[in-house]
Each structure stands twice: as C-alpha cells, then as structure tokens.
Amino acid sequence: MSLVIPKSLKKGDTVALISASGATPSERLQPAIEAVEKLGYNVVVGETCRTRHGYLAGSDALRAKELNDMFANPAIDGIFCIRGGYGATRILPMLDLEMIKNNPKVFAGYSDVTALHIVFNQQCGFVTYHTPMPSTEFIKPAMDEYTWDYFVNSVTNTEWKHYFLENKPGEAMRTITSGNATGILSGGNLTLVTASLGTPYEIDLTGKILFLEDIDENVQRIDRMLTQLKLAGKLDACVGIILGAWTDCGPLDTKIPENNLSLQQVFDEILAPLNIPILADVTCGHVLPTMSLPLGKKVTINTTNKTIEVVG
C-alpha cells in the first residue's frame, strides 16, 4: 500500500525547528535559523532547540509534547529536526500517533531521527525525508550545491516520481551482490534500526529495500548489529539493500591488523549470502556531500547499471 505523500513546502511556508534527541550547542542555533530562513521559510523555533537536560534537548515529556504540538498545529507546514544525537527512542511511547497520522507534513532529519522515520512510515503511514540537518550540515562551510539541491528538491517536490538517486559525479556506486529489486525504501542509521528490535516500534522490512549507514562504530560492532538483524529475520525479509557512508567506522584494534576484519569482509560474509541485490558506496549518511532520501517511497535498484530510481 502506498504511503501518504506530505504536501510540498514552498517559499513563505512555516517550518518548525525541533530536537527530539540531543541538545543544540547554543552557538549553532542562530546560524541554523538563518540557514533555514535563507531557503525562504518562516521559522518557528521550538523550546527544545534552547533547552538542555544533560545530553538531551530537555525532558522526554517536553520533547514529546513539542513534536505532538508541531504536528497538531495547522500553521506549521513542515518540521525539520535541528540535529540528531540521542533520545528519540525515549519519547516514542509519548507520541500521539493517531493525531500525527491525521496531520502528515514534511518531516526531515537523519541519524537518531531514524527512530521517528520508522514509526511515522509504518504506524502513521506517510513518507518522511532522510536529510542533513540545520545545526550540523546546514552551517558547515562544506555544505555543497549537490547536498543543497537534494535537500531542497526532497522537501519542495514531494510529489516527484520516476527520478534517480545519483551519487555526485565521479563517485561511483559499487555492486556487492547482483540483481534488480523494487520495494518501499526503509531504514536509516544502523544503530537505530537495530535498537528498534523487540519493541512495539520494530522495523518491518518485509518486501522492502533497506538503507543503512552509520558513524563512529568499529567494524566489530557493525558485525554484531548486522548479525542481530540477520538472526531476527530482518535481512531475510527485505528484497534489496543500499549501503551508504560508514564514517569513521574503522577497525577495533588498530595496532594488530590480524585481529581485524575489514568492513567489506563483514558485508561479504553477512550480507552477500542473502542473494539479494546490494549496492554500496551510496553518497548518503554522516558525510558531505550527501543525498536526501524519501523514506516510504517505492524505489528500484539495478546493480547492473548501478542505479537507484524512485518509481512511486
């Protein structure tokens, strides 16, 4: 069944900045606001962008209430998560999912935001957007035209169909396992996908294309998480896999090389035997440049041509 596609944003619309996860460094807030305003949006700044509770952007109750309120408010046209970090999973039981389902709107972010993408796709039934975020990538000098174009097109052309998700020129995708497959695009950060297992918010990958990326995880931990997904039956359920960036995901033991496996060895040993099409080196994740992904839309991966096409 097709998911609801939120209404495209246009200049003059009102966008809410919130954090369902980590606290925003104070020096990054104003540049983040200005970056979103330069896109032509009116900005409403949530209290969570200015609040800190240890490593969290305020209490669980505050973060959940603010997210509920932004979806319920008809004056808010879109919601951008200002940053990731940690904490989105803690507020899932406090979200009014029925209300959110009845008020779909552009929702963008990535990393820890993966927990919300899974729930909004599966339990609220609308497409969400895996994108860079205002207090991190938006204010970096390295935020490039490719990344901006993908972000803007994602949130302003939500109805687009039959377009390709392409790496930046000169950065080729790589085939791990050959074949073609079509399915709903799902996933995001590997750590958050794995953390959903055994909860009421567990990812359902039946017949889907799984996208995965991560940062600051050693190869042994990636091995453990992929193995957990395998043992839970999740990898056998999906019809294809897209592997994004694995930023600073190096060996556990840097002093004794023979104590390590490479990331490619882990992919070859755990993923390749699934005998489903797998594309790697896709420019998406904790990296610049990065593409934006429409989670919940139908995509086709073709490992012969090394293409990913949005088809519905």
> In degrees rounded to 5, what are phi and psi of residue 246?
-125, 75
- Residues with a catalytic annotation lie at 111, 213, 286
Among candidates 132, 115, 253, which has minimal Cα distance to 189? 115
Round to whole Å and give the CA distance between 239 and 237. 7
Q: Are 278 and 302 in contact (CB under 8 A)?
A: no
Q: What is the CA radius of gyration of the chain?
A: 19
The three state secondary structure string of the chain is CCCECCCCCCCCCEEEEECCCECCCHHHHHHHHHHHHCCCCEEEECHHHCCCECCECCCHHHHHHHHHHHHHCCCCCEEEECCCCCCHHHHHHHCCHHHHHCCCCEEEECHHHHHHHHHHHHCCCECEEECCCCCCHHHCCCCCHHHHHHHHHHHHCCCCCCEECCCCCCCCCEEEECCEEEEEEEEEEHHHHHHCCCCCCCCCCCCCEEEEEEECCCHHHHHHHHHHHHHCCHHHHCCEEEEEEEECCCCCCCCCHHHCCCHHHHHHHHHHHHCCCEEECCCCCCCCCCCCEEECEEEEEECCCCEEEECC
